[in-house]
Amino acid sequence: MDDGIRLGKCNHYLIRIIDMDVLQNKKLILGSKSPRRSQLLQEAGFAFEIRTQDIEESFDLSTPVLDVAEDLAIRKAYSLKHTLQEEEILLTADSVVILDNIIYNKPENYDEGVKILSALSDRTHTVATGVCLMTNRIIDSFTVVTKITFDKLSLDEIDYYLKTYQPYDKAGAYGIQDWIGWCKVKKIEGSYSNVMGLPVREVYEKIINFSNIK
């Protein structure tokens, strides 16, 4: 990682940027490997450390689809709770893409990417990002929902996108910040950053509230 310094094991990084002191001398920990979440937090003006723990991201199929992302974010937070020190605030998140009450995860291969993007083509789907904030003493979690409407995607466009952008690390097989977002999104209802993986406005306000708790 070019914009951080390695601290001990490979799953600990400190991101150093200008701090606006909204954290009230508390330290923010991002429990995510996502480069997009790191980017969004940096652009929101936060200094933070990355601290991650691999977890099993399966979920009970009886769980309401709009609850899945928040449940996973909470699970990620509890996996890191034992690492928290006094005055540290942990932030974890998870995003899911939903269409017709079905969750579309990261595609495992080209064929699965074609299947997912064909399903999303010319339809409106939901992106739900669940967020969890945790300290040694308190926990808060919430979900933010954004509606995305795609134009029709031809098979040639899907082929071009998958081969050019390789979106195999992205839920729903696409990134809103790349070619699909610029050329094939007809309408966005809600938070744009939420589709990238973090609802920055809501997270900013929640972090400030957490920082003010004595």
Average pLDDT along the chain, 214 residues, taken 10 residues at a time: 36 45 80 94 92 83 93 96 94 97 95 98 98 95 98 98 96 96 97 97 91 70
**H helical segments located in 24-64:** 35-43
Helices (H) and strands (E) in the chain, counts: 7, 9
pLDDT value, residue 21:
59
d(CA 104, CA 172): 5
pTM to 2 decimal places? 0.86
d(CA 44, CA 38): 10
- The structural domains of the chain, with segments of one domain joined by +, span 4-211
CATH number of 4-211: 3.90.950.10
Task: Give the closest residue to 12 by CA, choosing from 64, 51, 53, 57.
Answer: 51
Could you tell me whether strands 139-150 and 88-99 are parallel, antiparallel, or unpaired per DSSP bridges? Answer: unpaired
Helix axis angle for 110-120 and 155-165, nearest 10°, is 130
Q: How many CA atoms lie within 13 A of 58 on its CB side?
A: 3
Active site residue 140: no
pLDDT value, residue 64:
95
- Whether residue 93 contacts residue 198, with contact meaning beta carbons closer than 8 Å, is answered with yes
Given 54, 94, 100, 111, which residue is catalytic?
A: 94
Could you tell me whether strands 48-51 and 27-30 are parallel, antiparallel, or unpaired per DSSP bridges? Answer: parallel
